[in-house]
């Protein structure tokens, strides 16, 4: 993708990053923002090379990929 195409694709968009220590309320804030569909906010699915944990929830938090 050319830089000009990328700029056009991202025009008028913003990135919101919620960060903080465990228990700070990041998940609560994210859930509230995602519930308000008028905001047009979408959750990004992260990629990881870590193995799937047995305690992973049913929500898809990660795309599991190989290191290759």
Residue 59 has a pLDDT of 60
Domain ranges for the chain: 3-64
Question: pLDDT by residue for the chain (68 residues), tens digit each?
Answer: 789 888 888 888 888 899 999 999 999 999 999 999 998 898 888 888 888 777 765 566 778 888 87
Residue 30 has a pLDDT of 93
Residue 60 has a pLDDT of 66
Residue 19 has a pLDDT of 94
On the CB side of 3, CA atoms within 13 Å amount to 0
Do residues 41 and 33 make contact, with C-beta atoms less than 8 angstroms apart? Answer: yes
Q: Cβ–Cβ contacts within 10 Å for residue 22, how many?
A: 6
């Amino acid at each position: 993708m050319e830089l000009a195409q990328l700029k056009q694709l991202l025009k008028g968009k913003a990135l919101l990053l919620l960060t903080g220590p465990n228990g700070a309320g990041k998940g609560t804030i994210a859930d509230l923002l995602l519930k308000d569909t008028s905001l047009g906010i979408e959750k990004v699915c992260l990629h990881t090379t870590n193995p799937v944990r047995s305690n992973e929830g049913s929500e898809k938090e990660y795309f599991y990929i190989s290191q290759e």
